[in-house]
Structure 1
């Protein structure tokens, strides 16, 4: 008789361990990057690190809670649509009510009962969740009539992206667009649309960048002026090293200071007032300065391993919802990593996107923890299914062997 194993037996340590290592390292680096600035203001130097640690604990609680649930719970349409509309409501409250908190040129935060949240971070995982459900329910229609399959989802996706864009949070909107593209390409559409979409995306981005450079800032609404300034300085920030290029220039200095082995943890020069967003947008620059290029590459390697592990779980999944969910989560981590690294190295304009797990940000850490919890749950379900199939096959083989043995004995008699 088949023995029922507890769910913890199926725990995927290839996902859990990298998450824990990166998150704990993030707490240490948040302390290192923020302690000097906090001390200069007469505040507790460990204040930011303590907050990050508390959010990490909340993230662990979220993972445990999600892991204990059955995956069918996450496929209930009423709950999914409820969460989508909650996100829309949060965007409205953030933009049009006194609850909204402005920062970095955008009304991107909402403060309620002493707690500050960034709705766009939660929208990322809700969008993945919603699209995973929609695409898993419309597998046959996607292959035959993709435009009809996308008729209803387009409204909700556009609503969320537009709500983020008017904050205005262009970095968040770009991530949501890229997540949507990733999910669409993985949904089973004709490869022709995939090639066409990728080509249009690359060409459109190149044309947009050149158009912005040629036309200047006067075509931009006042609230989007900061976008033009970032485009203007990203290719050569040294032309305005004391103005709009200040952050980029000091990011370069930080990475250069670190060399191969770093200056040592806590010994960053650039965090001492030169990089105002040292513990958030430019956390990886500080890591390279203090820990060096070799450790930086190891950290990137660990993150890439985590992304690939989640992606492989999605590829191997026999359930469409599970597959789309894991591909979306892996895509989110990859997109956010590329945009952050690309921004601080000057490959693409700065967008204010944080580095996964390491940068300070409670909303981001909790959102990514929810994603990790979902990936762990899906991986456990797939492992359980594989184990049960193997056990069933074993018992069937035993039964067939027994029947053949009995038949042989009867013939011998």
Structure 2
């Protein structure tokens, strides 16, 4: 019995993804058309570019959905992908021009891409692969199975340590500096570490450590002053983010301009919004409104109620992805899905936290709604992985149930035959 994957598609994940992607195209048009017209360009330019990336993403989802999962579990394929990613991160950091105070974009003619975006899904893949292979050891030795080597390798064999690879790639992202994506990768890695099979008490310890460290770090910056931090060459641009976090209204013409106007946009929206396309702040007041501060414009145009419905759909999608991971019987499948769900959740948290002033703004895009073809492609690839995993888990379950049913029928037939024999002998 062979079951075609197309009959096992998880529509509770695929349909929200489609809806959010279409809503994202509408939002991209709404946030970019006025500025494009002002500069004498076609109002459809940005949405067409976004749409092209989305169509490519649909092709990528179809391709990934048809792949056999053994491809993802091939260590040679994963090693090659990671080496290519490391090379691209080095090129992005040291051989590209700055954009808005940071490196990170590799431009090849009309095409540009950001390696740090792709590292998010690669890291999820790498950690899922690594932790899944150590399940028996984790059961026996708890967290020590994942921390038996040192952070800094002292011999060649130590280069196989998952922490060494993770640390190198995260540092390359942070050095661009791209603290937003670095934060998402670190938080996602911590969540995957805690769901790898180690004792639950370690999650509480890690969460407490992160909270305490973040509080002390922000307190230290507050005491020594943002201007002192700005003198460090790498963190000059990042220092402005902290300055805006502490009080955006102290410098409305520079560091606090974006966050303050984000507040104005959300205040303008009220409960029901000004109407789609009627945002005031996107018309030159809120810089780069179509990227990391896009949700402020969504609130301004659709109101708190409309924005909450979109946010609810995003959380529904994330929960359905996490549910795939929880139900999966295979360790790799489980951690891959949980990693993807955690990655999306952390991206929403960092973006909403930044535009609302709960955490320093980091320039992270909002999933599906922000302009950015790389972000759409990475999210779509992640969705493709989860859909593939879910279909394979369903197929394995069907095969298992069919096999159990077959054995049950065979045992019943044997029992009935034995009763017939006993009756004839009587």
TM-score bracket, normalised by the shorter chain, equals over 0.9
* 1:178-217 Cα distance to aligned partner (Å, 9 max, x none): 1211111111223343322221111000000010111113
Number of the residue aligned with 1:111:
107
Counterpart position of 1:273: 284
Structure 2: how far apart are the matches of 1:383 and 1:227?
46
Q: Secondary structure at the match of 1:268?
A: coil
Question: What is aligned with 1:94?
Answer: 92
Cα deviation, 1:144-184, whole Å, max 9, x if unaligned, reads 13312786111111110111111111112111211211111
Among candidates 345, 349, 370, match of residue 338 of structure 1: 349
Residue pair 2:229, 2:236 contacting (<8 A) in 1 also? no
For residues 293 and 191 of structure 1, the distance between their equivalents in structure 2, rounded to whole angstroms, comes to: 36
Q: Using the alignment, how far apart are the partners of 1:259 and 1:412 within structure 2? A: 83
Q: Residue 403 of structure 2 corresponds to which residue in structure 1?
A: 392
Once the 2 structures are TM-superposed, how far is the Cα of residue 396 of structure 1 from its aligned partner? 2.1
Instruction: Please state how far the C-alpha of 1:404 moved relative to its aligned partner.
Output: 2.7
Q: Would you say the 8 A contact 1:63–1:373 is kept in 2?
A: yes
Of the three residues 295, 308, 311, the one matched with 1:297 is 308
Structure 2 equivalent of residue 311 of structure 1: 322
CA RMSD of aligned residues (A): 1.5
Trace 1:17-166 onto structure 2 (pairs within 5 A): 17-97=15-95, 100-143=96-139, 144=141, 145=144, 146-148=146-148, 152-166=161-175
5+ unaligned residues in a row in structure 2: which ranges?
151-157
Q: Which moved further from structure 2: 189-198 or 166-175?
A: 189-198
| Kept after mapping to 1: 8 A contact 2:229/2:239 | no
Higher mean displacement: 86-95 or 24-33: 86-95
Q: 2:218 aligns with which of 209, 222, 225?
A: 209
- Alignment match of 2:376 (pick from 360, 365, 377): 365
Partner of 2:155: none
Q: 1:333–1:356: 8 Å Cα contact kept in structure 2? A: yes
Instruction: Quote the offset at 1:295 in angstroms.
Output: 1.5
SS in 2 for 1:108: coil
Distance 1:33 1:219 in 2: 33
1:184-223 matches, within 5 Å, as 184-216=193-225, 217-220=227-230, 221-223=232-234
- C-alpha contact 2:86 2:169 (8 A) present in aligned 1: yes
Deviates further, 133-142 or 79-88: 133-142
Which runs of 5 or more structure 1 residues have no equivalent in the other structure?
A: none
Range that drifts further, 256-265 or 22-31? 256-265
Instruction: Report the secondary structure of 1:107's partner residue.
Output: coil
Larger mean Cα displacement after TM superposition, 88-97 or 335-344: 88-97
* TM-score (normalised: structure 2): 0.93
**Could you list the per-position Cα deviations for residues 272-315 of structure 1 after superposition, in whole angstroms to 9, with x for gaps in the alignment?**
01111111111111111111111211111111111111111111
Q: Secondary structure at the match of 1:147?
A: coil
TM-score, length basis structure 1: 0.96
